[in-house]
Structure 1
Amino acid sequence: MPLGTLDRTPPPFFKQGPSALSKLAVFSALALLLMVADARFRFTQPLRTAVAAVLFPIQWMAMRPVLGVRFASDYFTSLHEAQTAEEAARRKLILQAQRANQVEQLTTENVQLRKLLALRDRLNAPAQAAEVLYDAADPYTRKIIIDKGSAQGVEAGSPVIDESGVLGQVTRAHMMISEVTLVTDREQAIPVLNTRTGSRGVAYGDAGAHGSGGLELRYMAANADVQAGDLLTTSGVDGVYPPGIPVAKVEKVERRADSAFARISCAPAALVDGARHVMVLKPLTAQLPPRPAAEDPGPTPKRGSMRK
């Protein structure tokens, strides 16, 4: 067989083709060209839309198990939270019902005892709602301005409360607005009663400049029975605040060996920094009987007048 008739080309299995670097360069240039062309002319947008339309049912079916598991997890989580909240609400409702029954019973006993002892009825202060307009401009005082004034019957000395407790006292009443000094102001003092021990005291404002501050229960003996967590309410002995309104809660008690008095820091019960709607009460002074006038002892006898 002649040698010229033999096929000298290598079999397909051994063909190398272009090098890998050449392929990388060609495909990179093609990809860059397609990206630039798509960014400029958006010719692949119809193709992309068609592919998305074809794949949407598959994607929808593939996401059903994931969404089902997620929905079931959210359902059981929400169910557990709802059951927990319902249980807490039921406990709170039962506790409130128990307290309401106790309060009703105590009120009835109180009325009976007052009638038995011929004591006067408790004083009830008329009230009217007001809204806080803004804080006073003086940074060294703790005062707010409300939208009720003397035209609405507000007078200086009227107590001001919110939903949590005593907020302050009206110190200046204008025609349409009034100035309220908060309980945390350094110039404010309020007689209080410790509901746990029944002991009386006076709470003073302890706010610094630009700060909400708190209150300080002063002039209490170092060995006084005062503990952190004690609730202080109005005592009602000043003739201004009705008794029993929360004022503050004791936060810290410092008993110092070098002082006869304890340093007692308290947190106000009212929202002194966030109150928006308040109640202005009438002072109890108008409902109290007038104080007896001091009796005139008469002229002092002279030393010589007793001699005979």
Structure 2
Amino acid sequence: MPLGTLDRTPPPFFKQGPSALTKLVFFAALALFLMVADTRFRLTGPLRATVATVLHPVELALLAPVRGWIAASEYLGGLQQAREREDRALQQQAGVAERALRTEQLAAENERLRELLELRNALKVRGTAAELLYEASDPYSRKIVIDRGAKDGIVTASPVVDAAGVLGQVTRVYPLMSEVTLLTDKDAAVPVLNTRTQVRAAAFGDPGSVAAGAGMELRFMASNADLQAGDALATSGIDGVYPPGLPVGRIVGVDRRAGSTFAKVSVVPVARPDSVRHVLVLEPMAQQLPPRPEEAATSAPPPRRPARGASRPGQSDRDLGARR
């Protein structure tokens, strides 16, 4: 048989279906549709929460060897550190006792002044202890995941602090865990107060300056503003989220460029997420503040109209008798 007459097409068993280009176009359109649906209509939110709940035991099982190794290393290497800390604690005990006495005296004096001026006591912030599970794998954001979720009463916008100061804010809550956006994230912002000048400002995350020893910046600050390297920044509490007075960061550089209206102010946060293990999730201050005046006015009952013939405030009996 001549070779030109042979059928060179593969049998139906070896056919691969649609072409590679068709598959690429189909899956690209499907991915684009899912991204738009998740952004606009939040369709994949329940699915994401379900998958996160299902994978949570697997994540804990994978983290078990790492936790065991860390615990063993800390146990073996912590004995010497414990002895050194004990010696330092004994040396500092005398000074701490004196400062504690001063603190008690100042607290009692402050309480008497509050009662004298009829000021309200500060709001008591409730918190939930949590442990760091892992750091998010997204290279374009700065986020961590903690082991407390909706079943523990965690809500979005809850401040997260460690022993040094403010660490970040809860931005996504799952049933068994939560996602925390750190202050150094590009989308993070916190209102701050300069403790030296008592001037309020807003600190934003600046991931590009982490390598330079910063991580945050104060934006929209005038070039002639009273700012100095070393100024401490704390939360101002005007946003209804962060309690006032929590340490946030410290100014490390002020660049007043000639011809520019605003100065570039670099801030280093006091909290170090790379070395933290245990955090405290605080309740947002908005849940503890009293209602706004307009909300209280709408919820209050309407004033009662005086009965006919009844005297109004400021109306004398003489005027009533003249009307009769």
* TM-score clears 0.5: yes
Amino acid at match of 2:110: N
8 Å CA contact retained: 2:243, 2:285 = yes
The yes-or-no answer on 1:233 pairing with 2:231 is: no
Give the distance between the partners of 1:224 and 1:101, measured in 2 at CA.
Answer: 39
Distance apart, 1:206 and its partner CA: 0.6
8 Å CA contact retained: 1:140, 1:208 = no
Distance apart, 1:94 and its partner CA: 5.0
Q: Which runs of 5+ in 1 are unaligned?
A: 1-81, 297-308
- Name the residue aligned to 2:197: 197
Percent of residue pairs bearing the same amino acid type: 53
- Name the residue aligned to 1:277: 278
> What is the SS of the residue equivalent to 1:219?
strand
Cα gap change, 1:199 to 1:98, in 2 (>3 Å):
farther
Amino acid at match of 2:172: R
Give the distance between the partners of 1:96 and 1:258, measured in 2 at CA.
Answer: 50
Give the distance between the partners of 1:223 and 1:106, measured in 2 at CA.
Answer: 37
Give the distance between the partners of 1:263 and 1:209, measured in 2 at CA.
Answer: 12
* TM-score normalised by length of structure 1: 0.63
> What is the SS of the residue equivalent to 1:201?
strand
Counterpart mapping for 1:55-66 below 5 A: none
- Name the residue aligned to 1:286: 287
Give the distance between the partners of 1:194 and 1:186, measured in 2 at CA.
Answer: 22
Counterpart mapping for 1:208-219 below 5 A: 208=208, 214-219=215-220
Q: Which runs of 5+ in 2 are unaligned?
A: 1-83, 299-324
- Name the residue aligned to 1:248: 249
8 Å CA contact retained: 1:166, 1:246 = yes
Distance apart, 1:209 and its partner CA: 10
The yes-or-no answer on 1:141 pairing with 2:141 is: yes
Distance apart, 1:121 and its partner CA: 1.1
Counterpart mapping for 1:36-51 below 5 A: none
Amino acid at match of 2:281: V
> What is the SS of the residue equivalent to 1:218?
strand
Per-residue CA shift, 1:46-71, capped at 9, x if unaligned? Answer: xxxxxxxxxxxxxxxxxxxxxxxxxx
Counterpart mapping for 1:15-164 below 5 A: 92-164=92-164
Give the distance between the partners of 1:177 and 1:105, measured in 2 at CA.
Answer: 42
Per-residue CA shift, 1:217-245, capped at 9, x if unaligned? Answer: 12222222221111111111221111211
- Decide which structure has the larger Cα Rg and report it: 1
Larger deviation, residues 212-221 vs 120-129: 212-221
Give the distance between the partners of 2:224 and 2:91, measured in 1 at CA.
Answer: 38
Give the distance between the partners of 2:101 and 2:258, measured in 1 at CA.
Answer: 46
Larger deviation, residues 135-144 vs 98-107: 98-107
- Name the residue aligned to 2:77: none
The number of equivalent residue pairs is 212
> What is the SS of the residue equivalent to 1:111?
helix
* TM-score normalised by length of structure 2: 0.60
Per-residue CA shift, 1:153-195, capped at 9, x if unaligned? Answer: 1110111011111000001111000010001111111111112
Amino acid at match of 1:147: D
Larger deviation, residues 146-155 vs 130-139: 130-139
- Name the residue aligned to 1:43: none
Give the distance between the partners of 2:235 and 2:222, measured in 1 at CA.
Answer: 20
> What is the SS of the residue equivalent to 1:220?
strand
Distance apart, 1:89 and its partner CA: 5.9
Per-residue CA shift, 1:122-153, capped at 9, x if unaligned? Answer: 01211111111111121111111000001001
Amino acid at match of 1:115: E
Amino acid at match of 2:232: L
Larger deviation, residues 234-243 vs 171-180: 234-243
After superposition, the CA RMSD in angstroms is 2.6
- Name the residue aligned to 1:36: none
8 Å CA contact retained: 1:139, 1:210 = no
